[in-house]
Amino acid sequence: MRIAFIGLGIMGGPMAGHLQRGGHDVVVFNRTQSKAEAWVAEYGGRSALTPREAAADADVVCACVGADHDVREVTVGDEGAFPAMKADAIFVDHTTASAAVARELYGAARARGLHFIDAPVSGGQAGAQKGQLSVMCGGDAEPFARIEPVLRGYGKSVVRIGDSGAGQLCKMVNQLCIAGLVQGLAEGLHFAQNAGLDVPAVISVISKGAAQSWQMENRWQTMVDGKFEFGFAVDWMRKDLGIVLEEARRNGSRLPVAALVDQFYAQIQARGGARWDTSSLIALLDNQ
């Protein structure tokens, strides 16, 4: 299949790589041109100078960029992909963005005879490299059925949650669950250390019961060690929680702990931890 891939960051780069290695004909675009050249040197394929050029003749155009305004730019902006896409082609947006922008661009795509699927991912850099992401999709069933086999190139779980915007809303639910969970874990580990407990022994017991979580199993050691120079950055989590809290204003949800944890992340940013992993909430408690 002819696929364009826009945005070769730490997620998009390996995702596009899986498509090229999976036998697709991939043309990439990245704002910083040197990254696109490095990608071609590593994986093969071709690079283009604009999203529009990459999208010409593509069956599917994937994007994994920064935020709402970036998604607008690469679709309906001056050098955006939409005008170059052929009829019935599908734009798949892997950016974590608002449900509002997803619906807006879904409408713009349909008006041009194109399709738009919002498809944010979770699983982080490691998941992108291993091709083991979870992909949460919103949009029409027919184009979803066509792109699902493509997305399996990097998705261990590819699910259509519902109509346009539902993928983004699903990602928000994911981030909400994580916010409270990581803060609870941080408070537990902070208390365990202050109580002088043997933390590995504590984890060996409580990770088998009702307190168990992926975060506990994968983050307790680095949290106790105060290692945060990896993973999903506080800056990104704040972007996501900003989207969630704005959407919650719209749909009337009450999110007291998510709003509080968002403020904790603001404190971490203020002390220079903007690039730290989300698990750095414990640093605020420990005064690291």
For the segment 115-154, give every residue that binds a second copy (CB under 8 A): 122-124, 127, 134-136
Residue 264 phi, psi (nearest 5): -60, -40
Tell me the closest approach of the beta carbon of residue 145 to a second copy, in angstroms: 15
C-alpha closest to that of 162 among 188, 125, 136: 136
**Number of neighbouring beta carbons within 10 Å of residue 72:** 17
**Number of neighbouring beta carbons within 10 Å of residue 258:** 21
Question: Which of 2, 25, 35, 213 touches a second copy by CB under 8 A?
Answer: 213
Please report which helix (H) or strand (E) contains residue 134, including its range.
strand 133-138
Using CB under 8 A as the binding rule, the residues of this chain from 15 to 74 that contact a second copy are: none
Tell whether residue 241 is a contact of a second copy (CB under 8 A): no
Residues contacting a second copy: total by CB under 8 A: 74
Q: Which residues are catalytic?
A: 171
Residues 259-262: contacts with CB under 8 Å, at least 24 apart: 260/183, 261/179, 261/180, 261/182, 261/183, 262/179, 262/238
Residue 163 phi, psi (nearest 5): -70, 180
Give the interface segment with a second copy, choosing from 5-13, 43-51, 172-180, 265-273 (CB under 8 A): 172-180
Tell whether residue 187 is a contact of a second copy (CB under 8 A): yes
CB nearer a second copy, residue 13 or residue 120: 120
Using CB under 8 A as the binding rule, the residues of this chain from 83 to 102 that contact a second copy are: 99
Residue 266 phi, psi (nearest 5): -60, -40
Tell whether residue 212 is a contact of a second copy (CB under 8 A): yes
Tell me the closest approach of the beta carbon of residue 162 to a second copy, in angstroms: 5
CB nearer a second copy, residue 145 or residue 211: 211
- Token digits for 102? 């997803």
CB nearer a second copy, residue 57 or residue 229: 229
Question: Which of 30, 95, 183, 280 touches a second copy by CB under 8 A?
Answer: 183
Question: Which of 172, 223, 241, 243 touches a second copy by CB under 8 A?
Answer: 172
DSSP line for 163-198:
STTHHHHHHHHHHHHHHHHHHHHHHHHHHHHHTT--
Question: Which of 206, 227, 235, 239 touches a second copy by CB under 8 A?
Answer: 206
